[in-house]
Amino acid sequence: MEPGPLLDKYRLRGIEQKLTAELQAASEQLRLASSEEEKRKAVEVYLRAVQRFRDFAAKGIVPEEFLRHSGGSH
């Protein structure tokens, strides 16, 4: 979802930090995977995290779950 007027720069920075943490965790999971099945799952998680971060950074697309947890009225 595209960011609207309710998403100020501090909220956007918080979302960026959460997506960065998600990407770092997925990268670590990939690094630690040992079996082929673990590696396959870890690659899927990593690629999803990369896509979410790229969508946010390049296109301004905020994942839906960050909008649902805003606590504000719409």
Using CB atoms within 10 A of its CB, is residue 8 exposed (0-12), middle (13-18) or buried (19+)? exposed
pLDDT score, position 73: 41
Q: Which two tokens stand for residue 31?
A: 């690094």
* Best CA proximity match to 48, nearest among 16, 15, 25: 25
- The per-residue pLDDT for range 20-69, each reduced to its tens digit, is 999 999 999 999 999 999 999 999 999 999 999 999 999 999 999 988 75
| Predicted structure pTM score | 0.79
Tokens of 38: 């673990």
Q: Report the distance separating Cα 57 and Cα 16, nearest Å.
A: 8
Q: Where are the domains of the chain?
A: 9-60
**pLDDT value, residue 74:** 40
Lowest mean pLDDT among 8-12, 29-33, 69-73: 69-73
For the cut 90, the answer to whether the pLDDT of residue 7 exceeds it is: no
